[in-house]
């Protein structure tokens, strides 16, 4: 562990999750978007010119192994808890579940038009509809700024947190820019986040600190689930 920051009820660790996790206490749920190991560079492309490193160095500044998937041991630990794991369709030997979550990107894209999350929290399959975040300051969903190559819309992660409404301590061992943490603290959860990239760790700290400043606005409203469509599995 290189650094630890405590912001309200959020505890954030800069370091490798395999080193940090054994030091943690009990968590109630894991909501995370781990690397998928699908061979894409930081542009989200597999083309030869882009994989030469131009996109990574210029746009995101990520390390060469940014897309390496978690080990089977780590995935097993994650899903031994109440969990939502994005990109789980890329991982072998995930157990059967009725609770697949689907992010419909509402766009005719050459890449994936939807993303899937394995869940043992959702009672059955659910669909969330929202356009993806833009690039280079084009906000996309809710005019959010994309600052991480695989950043999920905040509305999507708020939706995920609602499935854990009866659980207090939320962990994201692949925190990235902190979107899960923002969604968690908005709803009064205790959040634990781990991120190994200093650049994104600093961004997550700022975003979660800002979320705490704005939290009274959310506490004044009853929790609600944004656009969703239920599908019986």
| Tens digit of each residue's pLDDT (9 = 90 or more) over 172-192 | 999 999 999 999 999 999 999
Q: How far apart are CA 52 and CA 41, in angstroms?
A: 9
Mention every residue, 6+ apart, whose C-beta is less than 8 A from residue 212. 7, 8, 10, 185
pTM (two decimals): 0.80
Structure tokens at 110: 């050459």
Top mean-pLDDT range of 53-57, 105-109, 137-141: 105-109
What is the reported pLDDT for 41?
A: 46
Share of the chain above pLDDT 90, in %: 58
57 or 174, which is more confident? 174
What pLDDT, on the 0 to 100 scale, is given for residue 82?
97
Give percent above pLDDT 70 in the chain: 74
Q: Of the segments 90-99, 100-109, 166-175, which one has the largest average pLDDT value?
A: 166-175
pLDDT at 188: 94
Question: Each residue of 111-147: pLDDT tens digit?
Answer: 788 999 999 999 999 999 988 876 334 444 445 788 7
Average pLDDT (104-117) is 84
**2-53: per-residue pLDDT in tens?**
899 999 999 999 999 999 999 999 999 999 999 887 655 444 444 433 443 3
**Cα 73 from chain centre:** 20
Split at pLDDT 50, 70, 90, the class of 71 is confident
| Mean pLDDT, all residues of the chain | 81
Selected residue with higher pLDDT from 36 and 109: 36
The domain ranges of the chain are 3-34+69-230
Closest CA to 8 of 173, 169, 197, 213: 213
User: What pLDDT score was predicted for residue 49?
Assistant: 34
**Helix/strand/coil (H, E, C) string of 109-133?**
CCCCCEEEEEECCCCCCEEEECCCC
For the 3-34+69-230 domain, the top CATH level (class) is alpha beta
């Amino acid at each position: 562990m290189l650094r630890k920051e405590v912001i309200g009820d959020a505890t954030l660790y800069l370091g490798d999750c395999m080193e940090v996790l054994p030091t943690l206490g009990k968590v109630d749920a894991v909501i995370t978007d781990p690397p998928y190991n699908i061979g894409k560079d930081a542009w989200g492309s597999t083309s030869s010119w882009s994989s030469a490193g131009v996109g990574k160095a210029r746009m995101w500044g990520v390390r060469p192994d940014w897309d390496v998937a978690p080990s089977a041991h780590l995935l097993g630990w994650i899903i031994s808890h109440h969990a939502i794991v994005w990109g789980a369709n890329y991982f072998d030997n995930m157990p059967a579940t009725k609770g697949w979550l689907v992010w419909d990107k509402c766009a005719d894209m050459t890449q994936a038009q939807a993303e899937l999350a394995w869940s043992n929290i959702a009672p059955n399959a659910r669909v969330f509809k929202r356009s993806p975040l833009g690039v280079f300051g084009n906000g996309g969903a809710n005019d959010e700024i994309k600052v991480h190559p695989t950043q999920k819309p905040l509305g999507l992660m708020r939706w995920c947190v609602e499935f854990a409404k009866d659980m207090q301590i939320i962990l994201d061992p692949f925190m990235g820019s902190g979107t899960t943490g923002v969604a968690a603290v908005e709803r009064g959860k205790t959040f634990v986040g781990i991120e190994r990239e200093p650049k994104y760790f600093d961004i997550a700290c700022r975003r979660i600190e800002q979320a705490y400043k704005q939290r009274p606005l959310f506490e004044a409203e009853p929790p609600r689930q944004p656009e969703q469509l239920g599908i019986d599995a």
